């Protein structure tokens, strides 16, 4: 298996950790118990990622559209993320994990915002793994903001280029994994996933293990990525 991991050792893996609620309901537990179990799966995933050649891990914690859920559930998810960050930041810093949080900050409860800022500060020097948590995040909003900043940085009348937008949005995703059995992207990393390999797993997120992650990376290395080119041929320089 080591050969697989050597093939590309700076992967950007994105995860939609879906299925927490159904997992809990199936066990007669409240949905919030699923989110708590999901936080454990996030911790295991972060620990396993660097050893599998993953350099960047973007995890969808809460989308802007999740505010449509009952307020108590949204607050429980936010509290779970805040507690996770507060509890794990010191260990993350020691393990070389840099944490950053994507998304809106103006709707976060004060305590969660403090945990976010503190986690970003204490882990800023991490170089082993970049953990990006998408919290109150919308890819469409992120794209609008990226376009606006790309336009702002140009002389009047010039339109932004792909490169300009790509720089403002962030790095491309290599592999996107969605657990929980549903097969869609939602409003998550829409630009960055243009050439991502997609993997949909039936496993509910609370059951996701380092073995699932390792198998996902093996599956990624089996895929032939052509970026619109032909099999086996070296790609010409991408359009800027
Ligand atoms: C995903 O699990 C976790 C978050 C959205 C934070 P869900 O809460 O969507 O669980 P299901 O899809 O209802 O099972
Ligand atoms: Mg869901």
Q: Let me know: does 122 contact 90? Beta carbons within 8 Å.
A: yes
Query: 16, 17, 21: which to mutate for ligand 1, most atoms within 8 A of CB?
Result: 21
- H/E stretch holding 101 reads strand 97-102
What is the reported pLDDT for 131?
Answer: 98
Rounded to the nearest angstrom, the distance between the alpha carbon of 183 and the centre of ligand 2 is 11
What is the reported pLDDT for 69?
Answer: 97
Whether 206 lines ligand 1, by a CB cut-off of 6 Å, is no
Rounded to the nearest angstrom, the distance between the alpha carbon of 34 and the centre of ligand 1 is 8
Q: Using CB atoms within 10 A of its CB, is residue 67 exposed (0-12), middle (13-18) or buried (19+)?
A: exposed
What is the reported pLDDT for 236?
Answer: 67
Per-residue pLDDT of the chain (240 residues; tens, 9 = 90+): 445 555 567 999 999 999 999 999 999 999 999 999 999 999 999 999 999 999 999 999 999 999 999 999 999 999 999 999 999 999 999 999 999 999 999 999 999 999 999 999 999 999 999 999 999 999 999 999 999 888 888 888 888 888 888 888 989 999 999 999 999 999 999 999 999 999 999 999 999 999 999 999 999 999 988 898 988 776 665 554
Q: Let me know: does 41 contact 206? Beta carbons within 8 Å.
A: yes
CA 55 to chain centre: 12
Distance CA 192, CA 169 (A): 8
Rounded to the nearest angstrom, the distance between the alpha carbon of 35 and the centre of ligand 2 is 11
| Ligand having the closest approach to the CA of 60 | 1
Ligand 1 atom closest to the Cα of residue 17 is 1
Distance CA 232, CA 111 (A): 51
Give the position of tokens 């380092």: 210
Q: Let me know: does 205 contact 38? Beta carbons within 8 Å.
A: yes
- Give the catalytic positions in this structure: 18, 66
Ligand 1 atom closest to the Cα of residue 23 is 14
Rounded to the nearest angstrom, the distance between the alpha carbon of 27 and the centre of ligand 2 is 16
What is the reported pLDDT for 240?
Answer: 46
What is the reported pLDDT for 164?
Answer: 85
Taking only the tens place, the pLDDT of each residue in 215-225 is: 999 999 999 88
Distance CA 102, CA 93 (A): 19
- H/E stretch holding 131 reads strand 129-137
Ligand 1 atom closest to the Cα of residue 38 is 3
Distance CA 198, CA 55 (A): 18
């Amino acid at each position: 298996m080591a050969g697989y991991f050597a093939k590309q050792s700076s992967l950007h893996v994105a995860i939609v950790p879906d299925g927490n609620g159904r997992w809990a309901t199936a066990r007669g537990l409240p949905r919030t118990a699923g989110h708590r179990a999901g936080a454990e799966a996030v911790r295991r995933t972060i620990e396993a990622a660097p050893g599998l050649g993953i350099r960047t891990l973007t995890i969808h914690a809460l989308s802007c559209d999740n505010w449509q859920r009952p307020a108590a559930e949204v607050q429980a998810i936010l509290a779970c993320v805040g507690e996770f960050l507060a509890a794990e930041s010191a260990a993350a810093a020691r393990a070389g994990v840099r944490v950053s949080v994507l998304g809106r900050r103006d709707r976060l409860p004060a305590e969660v915002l403090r945990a976010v800022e503190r986690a970003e500060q204490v882990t800023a020097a991490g170089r082993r793994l970049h953990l990006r948590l998408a919290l109150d995040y919308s890819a469409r909003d992120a794209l609008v903001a990226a376009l606006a900043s790309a336009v702002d940085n140009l002389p009047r009348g010039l339109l932004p280029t792909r490169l300009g937008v790509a720089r403002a949005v962030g790095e491309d995703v290599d592999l996107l994994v969605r657990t929980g059995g549903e097969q869609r992207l939602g409003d998550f990393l829409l630009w960055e996933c243009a050439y991502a390999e997609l993997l949909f797993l039936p496993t509910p997120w609370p059951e996701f293990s380092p073995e699932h992650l390792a198998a996902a990376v093996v599956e990624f290395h089996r895929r032939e990525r052509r970026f619109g080119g032909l099999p086996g041929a070296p790609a010409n320089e991408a359009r800027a």
